[in-house]
Amino acid sequence: MRDRAHKRPVWPRRLLVLLSALNTVGALGGAAGLVLGILDLGPTVTGRLPFGSAVLGGVALGLLVAVPNGALLVLALQRSRHTGLLGIAVGAAMVVWILVQLAFIRELSFFHPLYVAVGLLMVWAGNRTVRLDVGASASSVTRELLRGGKR
């Protein structure tokens, strides 16, 4: 019989891998669709975007959602000790992205609450990953990093 006490759970990291992979692919697809004009937001929503540009919205989606999620995916697959902290940051950034997006377009779709939930789930999984990897809470690790290890 295996001794389960010495086996660390890996599901929070696997959850971050899954969510970051799906977010990366989805954001890249959405960004490409907006930039290439395949996705039409309609004149009302497009007019509410900065400079009335769906292309700029697509570039922002790629840079602010796809790139951070892709970086998280790479770190998580490498089993980096920084996966949890980046998962927290990327999840929080996704929630902020959705809130900013809603402020601009002023229309709610099914995807907005879904991606807020995904972002919050990433924050939670990132926190669990930090606790499992480091043996401390994410907030205490962050405080230590900000202090630079000085007492």
Instruction: Report pLDDT digits (tens) over 68-80.
Output: 999 999 999 999 9
Closest CA to 124 of 19, 5, 24: 19
Q: Kindly state whether residue 6 falls inside one of the protein's structural domains.
A: no
Q: pTM here?
A: 0.85
Tokens 């907005």 identify what position? 112
Rounded Cα gap, residues 133 and 18, in angstroms: 18
- pLDDT value at residue 1: 46
Half-sphere exposure of 107 (CA within 13 A, CB side): 11
Token pair in block for residue 64? 């602010």
Tokens 């937001």 identify what position? 41
Q: Kindly state whether residue 119 falls inside one of the protein's structural domains.
A: yes
Q: Kindly state whether residue 66 falls inside one of the protein's structural domains.
A: yes
Give the structural domain span for 143.
Answer: 11-147
Q: Kindly state whether residue 85 falls inside one of the protein's structural domains.
A: yes
Rounded Cα gap, residues 131 and 8, in angstroms: 11
Instruction: Report pLDDT digits (tens) over 92-115.
Output: 999 999 999 999 999 999 999 999
Residue 58 in contact with residue 50, Cβ under 8 Å? no
Q: Kindly state whether residue 112 falls inside one of the protein's structural domains.
A: yes
Angle, helices 111-134 vs 138-147, to 10°: value is 70
Residue 47 clears pLDDT 50, i.e. is over it:
yes
Residue 4 clears pLDDT 90, i.e. is over it:
no
> How many domains would you assign to the chain?
1
For the chain, give the percent of residues with pLDDT over 90. 74
Instruction: Report pLDDT digits (tens) over 5-29.
Output: 456 678 999 999 999 999 999 999 9
Q: Kindly state whether residue 1 falls inside one of the protein's structural domains.
A: no
Q: Kindly state whether residue 104 falls inside one of the protein's structural domains.
A: yes
Identity of the amino acid at 70: G
Q: Kindly state whether residue 90 falls inside one of the protein's structural domains.
A: yes
